[in-house]
């Protein structure tokens, strides 16, 4: 205020450049969808989306270089924190988005149709299913702006420095994902079901988060995370409202990471959504949600650790055990990967519970390697097909290791990494989070984690044995015998990124571990 004149708040556009680039591309995509001729939309949308993701990654790198030697800075009147964990997670999200978008565009790029979003579409040239996909698929270029809007919200979520901004980011990335899950609705009822169930899960998540936000505001009189932490630190001991608010906000975030008992519909969503969307959702949503959870517990609620840590212990144990046990019983490859994702959420929670620099750096490393590996695993699922489209029945993957050894070897490598086998990045990630948990006194949690890893190895090895040592079925019925189609450059890129990361960071993890360690400092 100066002489009665209200001065508008300053907006640090350069600090917000990764998010602004993505949102600008999303808006441009909407305009392309509205005004560009149909024949031009796909190439324009794909170019915009990939260009925007690469530009966002470049902006993150530029910000990281410019902030070297500092903890970070706040933007938009303190609502957004641009610190080292933010930049690490935003860079990871941009890296995950690029291969996901390549998967989205692969079939459309080759055949001028989006048959990636009609999983029952045939890959047999001239078939009725292909003709239907050609007629209906090309109209689904709206997937690109929707994905960019979701990515923008995901970039903002772990950067949010107050609960209101965090809630807005939660809604911004959730709403496009509800629509993306239902893009195959004309071909598969499961896609409609996935969209509805994810919407209901999101509604519960938002409701719990908002109620918790209100209670924390009522306790502290502020929505800023650091100020909430200060209010709790100097509290008078009557912290019932703060504890209840913490519980509700925590439940809202646990819905998003797919932790037990808030996981019930996650496998249905993963199974029913188009596979490229599932890949993006499984990797990016978990990265962003854990980033927000880390900021909440490390910045706002560290002084309530005696209240929330026992609850997270119980959730982590249940998530690891139930996720691993239920995964063993699955017969659908996408549902198996969904339960695998739930199990990994429990492993990552052990790093969150550590509540120190080691736990933070281990969690950041785990999220990076897990995100890239997950996208690659789902990319491989898209290339195993029959006359009706993707083959997700695990029993029908028998013998693929003999007919398509390269794809089978890469999928086996990713599964071994998920199982935590040495010389893979998954082993390094698990070792890091378990070491951090043990160092903070959570040794029983580590024992449960190791036991769950042993159970999880059963269903991973089962798929590997099936691919390489089982005989391929002599017939696949009307759909024919499953085959591995030749991936195009885009799908090969999506597969290769995760496979290379699994090998490189399994054999030479120290550079990434050092980067994660240097990034493990929140701006308070």
Whether residue 336 lies inside any domain: the answer is yes
Task: Name the average pLDDT for the chain.
Answer: 85
Q: Is the confidence at residue 131, as pLDDT, over 90?
A: no
Tell me the C-alpha distance between 250 and 296, whole Å. 9
Q: What percent of the chain has pLDDT over 70?
A: 89
Query: Where in the sequence is the domain holding 421, given as residue range(s)?
Result: 17-518
Strand partners of residue 160: 80
pLDDT of residue 68: 77
Question: How many other CB atoms are there within 10 angstroms of residue 446's CB atom?
Answer: 18
Q: Tens of pLDDT along 284-306? A: 999 999 999 999 999 988 888 88
* CB contact at 8 A, 104 and 84: no
The three-class DSSP label of residue 28 is: helix
Q: Is the confidence at residue 41, as pLDDT, over 60?
A: yes
Whether residue 40 lies inside any domain: the answer is yes
Strand partners of residue 389: 386
* CB contact at 8 A, 515 and 430: no
Q: Is the confidence at residue 15, as pLDDT, over 70?
A: yes
pLDDT of residue 430: 93
Q: Is the confidence at residue 166, as pLDDT, over 80?
A: yes
pLDDT of residue 187: 58
Q: Is the confidence at residue 120, as pLDDT, over 50?
A: no
Nearest C-alpha neighbor of 267 from the set 277, 282, 252, 280: 282
Q: Is the confidence at residue 190, as pLDDT, over 80?
A: no
* CB contact at 8 A, 83 and 64: no
Whether residue 11 lies inside any domain: the answer is no
E strands, 214-354, in order: none
Whether residue 287 lies inside any domain: the answer is yes
Whether residue 404 lies inside any domain: the answer is yes
* Averaged pLDDT for residues 388-397: 82
* CB contact at 8 A, 362 and 445: no
Q: Is the confidence at residue 398, as pLDDT, over 60?
A: yes
Q: Is the confidence at residue 2, as pLDDT, over 60?
A: no
Most confident of 218-222, 365-369, 491-495: 365-369
* CB contact at 8 A, 191 and 272: yes
What is this structure's pTM? 0.90
Q: Is the confidence at residue 176, as pLDDT, over 50?
A: yes
The three-class DSSP label of residue 184 is: coil
pLDDT of residue 482: 72
* Averaged pLDDT for residues 7-19: 80
Tell me the C-alpha distance between 152 and 361, whole Å. 24
Question: Count H helices, E strands: the chain?
Answer: 21, 5
Whether residue 6 lies inside any domain: the answer is no
C-alpha distances in angstroms, 65 versus 58, 69, 78, 276?
Answer: 11, 9, 21, 32
Element (H, E) at 254: helix 240-257
C-alpha distances in angstroms, 16 versus 60, 156, 219?
Answer: 9, 9, 30
Whether residue 524 lies inside any domain: the answer is no
pLDDT of residue 185: 61
* Cβ neighbours of residue 445 closer than 8 Å, sequence gap 6 or more: 313, 316, 317, 350, 353, 437
Strand partners of residue 75: 80
Q: Is the confidence at residue 383, as pLDDT, over 60?
A: yes
Q: Is the confidence at residue 135, as pLDDT, over 50?
A: no
Burial of 235 (C-beta count, 10 Å sphere; 0-12/13-18/19+): middle
Q: Is the confidence at residue 126, as pLDDT, over 60?
A: no
DSSP state of 397: G
* Averaged pLDDT for residues 265-293: 90
Question: Looking at 115-119, 229-233, 403-407, 470-474, which range is the least confident one?
Answer: 115-119
Structure tokens at 15: 């600090």
Q: Tens of pLDDT along 413-445? A: 999 999 989 999 999 999 999 999 998 888 899
* Averaged pLDDT for residues 462-483: 73
Tell me the C-alpha distance between 146 and 140, whole Å. 11
* Averaged pLDDT for residues 126-145: 54
Structure tokens at 463: 């798929």
Question: How many domains does the chain fold into?
Answer: 1
3-state helix, strand, coil in the chain (%, to 5): 75, 5, 20
Whether residue 471 lies inside any domain: the answer is yes
pLDDT of residue 117: 44
pLDDT of residue 136: 39
């Amino acid at each position: 205020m100066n002489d009665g004149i209200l001065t508008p708040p300053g907006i640090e556009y350069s600090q917000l450049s990764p998010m602004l680039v993505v949102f600008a591309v999303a808006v441009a995509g909407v305009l392309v969808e509205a005004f560009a001729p149909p024949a031009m939309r796909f190439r324009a949308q794909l170019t915009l989306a990939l260009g925007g993701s690469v530009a966002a990654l470049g902006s993150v790198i530029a910000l990281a270089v410019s902030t070297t030697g500092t903890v970070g800075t706040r933007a938009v009147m303190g609502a957004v924190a641009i610190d080292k964990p933010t930049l690490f997670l935003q860079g990871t999200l941009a890296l995950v988005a690029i291969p996901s978008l390549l998967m989205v565009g692969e079939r459309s790029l080759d055949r001028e149709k989006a048959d990636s979003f009609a999983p029952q579409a045939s890959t047999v040239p001239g078939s009725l299913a292909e003709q239907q996909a050609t007629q209906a698929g090309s109209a689904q270029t709206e997937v690109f702006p929707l994905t960019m809007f979701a990515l923008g919200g995901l970039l903002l979520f772990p950067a949010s420095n107050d609960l209101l901004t965090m809630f807005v980011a939660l809604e911004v990335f959730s709403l496009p994902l509800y629509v993306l899950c239902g893009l195959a609705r004309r071909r598969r009822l499961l896609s409609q079901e996935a969209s509805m169930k994810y919407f209901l899960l999101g509604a519960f998540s938002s409701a719990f988060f908002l109620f918790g936000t209100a209670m924390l505001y009522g306790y502290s009189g502020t929505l800023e995370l650091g100020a909430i932490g200060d209010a709790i630190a100097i509290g008078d001991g009557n912290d019932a409202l703060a504890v209840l608010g913490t519980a509700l906000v925590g439940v809202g975030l646990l819905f998003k990471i797919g932790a037990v008992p808030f996981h019930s519909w996650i496998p249905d969503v993963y199974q029913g959504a188009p596979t490229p969307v599932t890949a993006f959702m499984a990797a990016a949503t978990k990265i962003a949600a854990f980033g927000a959870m880390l900021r909440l517990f490390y910045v706002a609620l560290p002084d309530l650790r005696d209240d929330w840590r026992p609850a997270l212990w119980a959730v982590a144990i249940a998530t690891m055990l139930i996720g691993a046990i239920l995964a063993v019983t699955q017969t659908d490859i996408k549902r198996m990967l969904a339960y695998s994702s739930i199990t990994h959420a429990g492993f990552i929670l052990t790093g969150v519970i550590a509540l120190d620099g080691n736990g933070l750096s281990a969690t950041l490393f785990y999220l990076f390697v897990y995100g890239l590996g997950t996208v690659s695993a789902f990319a491989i699922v898209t290339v195993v097909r029959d006359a009706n489209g993707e083959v997700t029945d695990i029993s029908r993957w028998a013998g693929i290791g003999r007919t398509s050894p390269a794809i089978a070897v890469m999928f086996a490598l990713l599964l071994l990494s998920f199982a935590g086998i040495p010389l893979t990045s998954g082993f390094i990630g698990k070792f890091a989070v378990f070491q951090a948990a043990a160092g903070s006194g959570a040794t029983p949690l580590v024992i449960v984690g190791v036991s769950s890893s042993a159970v999880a190895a059963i269903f991973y090895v089962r798929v590997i044995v099936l691919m390489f040592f089982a005989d391929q079925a002599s017939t696949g019925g009307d759909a024919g015998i499953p085959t591995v189609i030749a991936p195009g450059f885009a799908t090969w890129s999506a597969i290769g990124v995760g496979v290379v990361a699994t090998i490189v960071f399994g054999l030479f993890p120290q550079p990434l571990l050092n980067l994660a360690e240097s990034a493990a400092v929140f701006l308070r």
